[in-house]
Amino acid sequence: MDVRRSIDAPLKPRISLPNLLTYARIAAVPAVVTCLLVGGDDARWLALGLFIAAGVTDFFDGFLARRWSQQSSLGRMLDPIADKLLVSATLLMLAADETITGLNLVAAIIILCREILVSGLREFLAELRVPVPVTRLAKWKTSIQLVAIGFLIAGSAGDKILPWTTAIGLSGLWIAAGFTVVTGFDYLRVGVAHLMDENR
């Protein structure tokens, strides 16, 4: 009995509801990509529904993990990965189907570069056991970014109902890109400071 408990114990955090929600968000990535690849109004609305559902899990997985004391190393690792996969894959698809074109691609590239930069800095700082708390500004950036991408997913289908759907999404994307530069600089400043300390 004791042996069985010792074997089962490590699996508990992996199958907790918060982690299942994170897995669902990762699973939503290829589903959203497929819908955008298929194209058409119905597919775009389905993609938007999946994207919204994935965004909701982003809130509840962290909330429930804290509320039920089910935080785990696996969850802390997968949560930002799931977020970055969802945002990056969707932005790339929106660029591919020309929802995002011209100068607006710059805003998307800024956001993608920031995601890569922060991932690298988090990995570097994790080795130094330096925590990188999420700032309130970063949370605002994420919220604006998700809303903007949601409008862009609706895109041409949404324009038939609300003519400014795509325009609203592109404006939000630039606002998110602005916040991205500020928050990315904050992460970079912390990383460089600890790098300088390491080299002293």
Question: Per-residue pLDDT tens for 30-50?
Answer: 999 999 999 899 999 999 999
pLDDT band at 2 (very low <50, low <70, confident <90, very high): very low
* Token pair 């460089």 in the structure block, residue: 192
27 pLDDT higher than 50: yes
Cα(4)–Cα(6) distance, integer angstroms:
5
CA-CA distance, 161 to 180, in Å (whole number)? 30
Give the start-end residues of each E strand in 19-99.
Answer: none
Assign 62 a pLDDT band (cuts: 50, 70, 90): low
11 pLDDT band, cuts 50/70/90, is very low
* Residues in CB range of 142: below 8 A, 6 or more apart: 83
pLDDT band at 89 (very low <50, low <70, confident <90, very high): very high
In this model, does residue 177 exceed pLDDT 70?
Answer: yes
Please say if the pLDDT value at position 54 is more than 70. Answer: yes
Is the pLDDT reported for residue 3 higher than 50? Answer: no
